[in-house]
Chain A
Amino acid sequence: MDRDKERRKRLASLPFSEKLKILEKLRERSRVIAASGLRKMAIRQQKRNG
């Protein structure tokens, strides 16, 4: 818990430009996860439809 709080504090104290770069990475990761989820759904659908 304390370690998590410390990590959040450290991240919060970064310059805004640095934090925005992290945001961009988070956004990219979410996009990749969403795309892979959609791919898996399409494969499942294809298998179901034979």
Chain B
Amino acid sequence: MKATLEMINRMQADGVIGKYAIGGAVGATFYLEPLATADVDIFVMLPLAPGGSLLSVAPLYEYLTARGCRVEGERIVVGDWPVQFLPPHDALEQEALAQAVETEVEGIRTWVLSAEHLIAIALETGRAKDYARIVHFLEEDAVDADRLNRVLMRHGLVPKWEQFERKYLEE
């Protein structure tokens, strides 16, 4: 993972990407016990083009492939890890990226999404494994309930949360 993060930081320093943060199972591992996963989700801000529209991920792929990384379907292998780069697709993901938590991995500076944003994004995504991860966070008491409520309210996720609670937590 160290090599993966070093390469991503270099890409950021070279201006190919803006702010980034680790999400998904690897992000959740920051707060919980290690959760087995085959890849890393990196939420990434792409720099704005001069005209103000968002750039595509193509320059990012070009940068990495020029440095020996290989593309595997939707992912690109950076260091030892297949990485999926995810530009934020809504206000929730933009906020998650803006409020990411700074940390270090073997002396390498990096960022991880907050527990509350990981939960909100998992709720929004809504696959079985996402719901299982939310339950995991709650069981481990690894979330600030007030902060989560505020995130859910800001992004119109309260009805979905209530549905989730009825289905998975009230048994």
> Could you list which residues of chain A lie within 8 angstroms of chain B, going by C-beta atoms?
7-9, 11-12, 16-17, 19-20, 22-24, 26-27, 30
Contact = CB atoms under 8 A, between A and B. Distances in A.
A48 B34 CA distance: 40
A35 to B, nearest CB: 13
A27 B36 CA distance: 7
A17 B105 contact: yes
A33 to B, nearest CB: 11
A22 B34 contact: yes
Contact of B105 (A7, A16, A27): A16
6 contacts: A12-B31, A16-B103, A16-B112, A20-B26, A23-B1, A23-B36
Contacts of A20: 1, 26, 29, 34, 105
Chain A facing B: main interface SS: helix
Interface of B: 1, 26, 29-38, 80, 103-106, 112, 140, 142
Question: Residue among B34, B80, B103, B112 with the most chain A CB within 10 A?
Answer: B34
Given A17-B105, A17-B106, A20-B1, A12 B33 contact: yes
A16 to B, nearest CB: 5
Nearest to A23: B34
A30 B38 contact: yes
Contacts of A12: 31-33, 140, 142
B36 A8 contact: no
